[in-house]
Amino acid sequence: MRHIETVFSGFGGQGVLFAGQLLAYAGLAEELYVTWIPSYGPEMRGGTANCTVILSEEKIGAPVVRNPSAAVVMNSPSMEKYELLVRKGGLLVVNSSLVSRKSNRDEVQVLTIPASDIATELGNVRIANMVLLGAFVEATGIVALDTVKQQLNEHLSERQRKWLEPNYTALQRGSELALEPSTV
């Protein structure tokens, strides 16, 4: 049965809410039950931002998650907050460009992806969220990467359309990195 409870977390402006929302749209497209709950500080950029996404083949009883089965962390404060909350056997996807500390957890799968560095190479540091989302999707198999790409095409605003292809590339790079032994 497909079921996952995920927290995406970082600074405002890093696109964590959009990454979670995109995953939720992909879940809906694949006819899963979905919840998406955003949470952010009062700051426009630089404050905290996170969202919880639950995807499941069965009805979701409650949208609140204390110990997620996965966390995607984009910065050090997010690592500090969510690393120990991921349940045993879960997944922790870490933006190693901004989180220098390694996880001490050996009972979860940890993927360290230099997402911000890759995004900068692709022309826009703001697509680091897509690098991590691609890695997350590949590692979990909760939805197909092609479904995420389709939803990106359908939900990217007109103002951001020029970044569609780089976002596709970022998703693909993250997916490929999740398969490399050096990221585990």
Tell me which DSSP letter residue 87 carries: P
Q: What is the pLDDT of residues 13-70, one digit of tens each?
A: 899 999 999 999 999 999 999 999 999 776 666 678 999 999 999 999 988 899 999 9
Under the banding of pLDDT at 50, 70 and 90, the label for residue 181 is confident
CB atoms within 10 A of CB 92: 22
C-alpha torsion 68→84→80→23, nearest 10: -20
- Mean residue pLDDT of the chain comes to 94
Under the banding of pLDDT at 50, 70 and 90, the label for residue 125 is very high
Region 73-99: what's the mean pLDDT?
Answer: 97
Q: What is the pLDDT of residues 143-161, one digit of tens each?
A: 999 999 999 999 999 998 9
CA angle 149, 159, 29 (to 5 degrees): 25
Q: Residue 167 sits in which domain range?
A: 3-183
Asked if residue 55 lies in contact with residue 23, where contact means CB atoms within 8 angstroms, the answer is yes
CB atoms within 10 A of CB 148: 27
pLDDT, position 184: 59
82 pLDDT more than 90: yes
The CATH number of the domain where 18 resides is what? 3.40.920.10
Region 98-111: what's the mean pLDDT?
Answer: 96
Structurally, how many domains does the chain consist of? 1
